[in-house]
Amino acid sequence: MNFGKNIGVERSERSRQAASGASHIEDLALEQTLKNFRMSVVAWSDAAYSRPRTVTQTVRRRSWRLVAGGALGCALLAGGVAGVGYERHQRQEAARIAAARVVEQQRLVREQQNLLREEQAKAEDEDLLSKVDSDVSREVPSAMEPLAQLMAENERQ
């Protein structure tokens, strides 16, 4: 029983040692990584610290950028305003053309209607005249009636 207990203790001791060994290795790895990190920062900082200074150039470049940015902004603004104006003008022009077209179409329709009306009136006049002509040609004055009857009898014989 005691023997078994000892084995258990030994096992737990071994696993504890193994765990502590693993964490030690982990710590060593972390230590090495942090050392590398430090070396990296130092190298980067040294390179950045000893680089040639370009203060004037930077300032100039920045001011040039500012000027260019301002000019670009102004150009964009002017372009935008001009675009809006041009678009409005275009719209007005299109509306004016459309209105003129409508007026023209209305005028043409009116002309056609007038022509039709005139033709109809002419046709009606002609019909009336021809009817009058035929009526006049068939009717005989009462004084001539006996003669007309004779003519009709002769024709029958």
Partner 1 sequence: MAAGAALEPMTRATAEEIAARNLEAATDEFTLVVERHRPQVFRFLLASTRDVDLAETLTQECFLKAHRNWGSFRGESSAMTWLMRIAINLQKDHWRNRRMQFWRHTQTNSVDMEDAGEWLPSGESSVERQLLAREQVSHVWAAVKGLSERQRTVFLLRYVEEQELSEIARATGLSEGTVKAHLSRAVTKVRTELGRQQ
Q: Which residues bind partner 1 (CB under 8 A)?
A: 26, 29-30, 33-34, 36-49, 51, 58
Structure tokens at 86: 């041009």
Structure tokens at 80: 């935008």
Structure tokens at 91: 């719209």
Minimum CB–partner distance for residue 39 and partner 1 (Å)? 6
Return the number of the residue (76 or 98) whose C-beta is nearest partner 1.
76
What distance in Å separates the CA atoms of residue 150 and residue 156, rounded to the nearest whole number?
10
Minimum CB–partner distance for residue 81 and partner 1 (Å)? 25
Enumerate helices (H) and strands (E) in the chain, giving the number of each: 3, 0
What distance in Å separates the CA atoms of residue 37 and residue 48, rounded to the nearest whole number?
16
Return the number of the residue (39 or 148) whose C-beta is nearest partner 1.
39
Return the number of the residue (14 or 62) whose C-beta is nearest partner 1.
62
Return the number of the residue (26 or 87) whose C-beta is nearest partner 1.
26
Minimum CB–partner distance for residue 31 and partner 1 (Å)? 10
